[in-house]
């Protein structure tokens, strides 16, 4: 059956901490405004779901707890403090573009229960149908997956798969995935199109970003989940203004990981 062209496609945008902070020590209001503007420009074609890190970074702007912030429990406390502040920043930036937002906190355990998965899918479908953009983060106060392992890349992939989105975009701080040889030479060269993930793994560095806890390895793991569910993944440079619109129009360089042909 042909797809109804009047039905908008679904796009899941994952925003890492380095993108949100513009690689500084504070959430960038300018970057949030840039993201909101791009969503506004593309909203006639796509329904947006956003998976955002940044709760801990948001808290660190104005809170210093009386202990070492490398402890998991302290990071969970910072996430609890920072999450409502982060959502307020999203709401303020998106409201200026007449966009409505909502908050959804999920944990990895939610994806292991069929009834919970159905509830997530139904709730987000209702939000989208009524013009709301779900802003999703891991519930770090009860779960430590993002803090310890993955900077929400896996959460984005699982959510995208559950919601059967048409496209998943991960905004990071590079122009996609670079070849290993070009990294050694000091002149990074983007791998622009990928279908073979096993071959791609040999090109990936284990290094992690300064604010986020992931890296390219976590993005490959996300790509594996997405490819199994036949969802295309773009890894783009979120530090650049207009990164999503430019990628959509083919004006910039990024890595596209296709579904298997």
Q: In the chain, what are the domains?
A: 9-257 (3.40.1160.10)
Point out the least confidently predicted range of 4-18, 120-134, 236-250: 4-18
Whether 146 has a pLDDT exceeding 80, the answer reads no
Confidence of residue 144 (pLDDT cuts 50, 70, 90): low
Average pLDDT over residues 241-253: 97
Q: Which band of pLDDT confidence, cut at 50, 70 and 90, is reported for residue 190?
A: very high
Give Cα separations from 203 to 66, 82, 125 (angstroms). Answer: 41, 35, 37
Q: Calculate the average pLDDT of the chain.
A: 87
pLDDT of residue 141: 64
208 vs 96: which has the higher pLDDT: 96
What pLDDT is recorded for position 143?
Answer: 60
Confidence of residue 70 (pLDDT cuts 50, 70, 90): low
- pTM for this structure? 0.89
Q: Is the pLDDT of residue 52 over 70?
A: yes
Is the confidence at residue 65, as pLDDT, over 60? Answer: yes
pLDDT at residue number 166: 97
pLDDT band at 69 (very low <50, low <70, confident <90, very high): low
pLDDT surpassing 70 at residue 158: yes
pLDDT of residue 66 exceeding 80: no
pLDDT exceeds cutoff 80 at 149: no
Instruction: Give the Å distances, CA to CA, from 62 to 51, 90, 119.
Output: 23, 17, 35
Q: Convert the pLDDT of each residue in 92-133 to its tens digit.
A: 999 999 999 999 999 888 898 999 999 999 999 999 999 999
Split at pLDDT 50, 70, 90, the class of 211 is very low
Mean pLDDT of 13-27: 93
The percent of the chain in helix, strand and coil, each rounded to the nearest 5, is 45, 20, 35
pLDDT above 70: residue 208: no
Average pLDDT over residues 1-17: 78
> Are residues 11 and 236 in contact, defined by beta-carbon separation less than 8 angstroms?
no
Are 202 and 46 spatial neighbours (Cβ–Cβ below 8 Å)? no
Token code pair at residue 198 = 């096993």
Percent of the chain surpassing pLDDT 70: 87
Residues 6+ apart with CB under 8 A from 58: 27, 82, 83, 85, 86, 89
Task: Give the least confident one: 43-52, 139-148, 252-261.
Answer: 139-148
Contact 141, 79 (CB under 8 A): yes
Mean pLDDT of 238-254: 96
Distance CA 27, CA 85 (A): 10
DSSP structure class, residue 165: -
């Amino acid at each position: 059956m042909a797809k109804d062209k009047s039905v908008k496609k679904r796009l899941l945008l994952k925003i890492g901490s380095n993108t949100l902070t513009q690689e500084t020590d504070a959430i960038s209001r300018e970057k949030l405004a840039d993201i909101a503007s791009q969503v506004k420009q593309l909203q006639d074609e796509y329904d947006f779901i956003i998976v955002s890190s940044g709760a801990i970074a948001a808290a660190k702007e104005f809170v210093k707890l009386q202990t070492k912030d490398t402890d998991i429990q302290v990071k969970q406390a910072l996430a609890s403090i920072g999450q409502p502040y982060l959502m307020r920043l999203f709401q303020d930036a998106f409201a200026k573009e007449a966009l409505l937002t909502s908050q959804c906190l999920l944990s990895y355990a939610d994806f292991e229960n069929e009834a919970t998965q159905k509830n997530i899918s139904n709730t987000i479908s209702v939000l989208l149908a009524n013009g709301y953009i779900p802003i999703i983060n891991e519930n770090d106060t009860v779960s430590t997956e993002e803090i310890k392992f993955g900077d929400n890349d896996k959460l984005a992939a699982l959510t995208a798969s559950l919601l059967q989105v048409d496209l998943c975009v991960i905004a990071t701080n590079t122009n996609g995935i670079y070849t290993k040889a070009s990294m050694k030479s000091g002149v990074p060269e983007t791998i622009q199109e990928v279908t073979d993930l096993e071959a791609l793994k040999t090109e990936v560095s284990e290094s992690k970003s300064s604010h986020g806890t992931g890296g390219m390895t976590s993005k490959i793991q996300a790509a594996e989940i997405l490819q199994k569910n036949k969802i295309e993944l773009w890894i783009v440079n979120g530090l650049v203004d207009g990164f999503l619109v430019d990628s959509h129009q083919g004006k910039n360089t990024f890595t596209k990981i296709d579904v298997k042909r």
